[in-house]
Amino acid sequence: MANSDPVYLRVVEDLRRQITEGLLQPGAPIPSRHQITRKYGVGETAARHALRVLAQEGLIIGRVGSGHRVRQRPDLLPLHRAQAHFSTDMHAVGRRPTCDVKTDSAEARPDIAVRLRIAAQSPVTRTRIVYRSDGKPVQLAVSYEPIVYNDGTDDITQVAHRLGGNGLKLTEVTEHVYARVPQPVESDVLDLPAGVHVLHVERTHWAGDKPVETSDVIIPCDQFRLVYTLPAPYGEQTNR
């Protein structure tokens, strides 16, 4: 495998350059494996590998029967950090926002248990929301609350109201944001093309020193950019 690396990389680098420099525009056809073998003097395996790498990078997309084409690059919509969640004004860009909500009981996974400071496999209320734009999935959010705090409300944006009914007052929200490769189930739910990464926002709501809700928000990197507005001066930082 190591001996073939320079061969397929030569193809990848040339086609990548043509795409990034605009010589191959979005929607333009990519040479077939047969055409690649003739143009670059490489074997079938190297040609197939080169196309696979370009697809994994999100530069091209393949369709059965029609070969590969340069992938359309949509304009990134601003996703504003609102009080309890990330939101964008879909109506302002001519899109119809909807969502699918499912709430059930579950056992806390070890990582969720750590974030909620409860024992692993403790009962939690899990709420899964798939946000859609014109019917297309654009964001996935899964929240977890110790079952004692949940009153059956199935909207993670109403955390403050729900906890207030239990005598708890939200005092802080912490977020950990990082990019990663999507899990297969996330790719399926969000209908992600090959090569698209996601932003993972781990958000936890606190009531004093007690974590009372935590959620995983999964955002496709090829559709949105996160927008934060922070007060200045930022004030004293809290380390947990």
> What distance in Å separates the CA atoms of residue 53 and residue 12, rounded to the nearest whole number?
7
> What distance in Å separates the CA atoms of residue 153 and residue 144, rounded to the nearest whole number?
13
Three-state secondary-structure class, residue 51: helix
Say how many CA atoms lie within 13 Å of 38 toward its Cβ.
Answer: 5
Q: Quick one: 150 exposed, middle or buried, by C-beta within 10 A (0-12, 13-18, 19+)? A: buried
pTM, two decimal places: 0.70
Say how many CA atoms lie within 13 Å of 48 toward its Cβ.
Answer: 3
99-223 folds as Chorismate lyase (3.40.1410)
Class of domain 7-75: mainly alpha
Say how many CA atoms lie within 13 Å of 82 toward its Cβ.
Answer: 11
pLDDT, one tens digit for every residue, the chain (240 residues): 444 457 899 999 999 999 989 899 988 999 999 999 999 999 999 999 999 899 888 788 887 677 899 988 777 777 777 655 566 666 667 778 889 999 999 999 999 999 999 999 999 999 999 999 889 999 999 999 998 766 555 455 566 666 666 677 888 889 999 999 999 999 999 998 777 889 999 999 999 999 999 999 999 988 888 887 777 775 555 556
The values of phi and psi at residue 139, to 5°, are: -160, 145
Hunting for tokens 């990019």 — which residue is that?
179
For CATH 1.10.10.10, the residue range(s) in the chain are: 7-75
For CATH 3.40.1410.10, the residue range(s) in the chain are: 99-223
Produce one character per residue of 2-11: b if its CB has 16 or more CB atoms within 10 Å, e if not: eeeeebbeeb
Q: Which two tokens stand for residue 78?
A: 């601003």
**Pairing label, strands 210-220, 198-207:** antiparallel
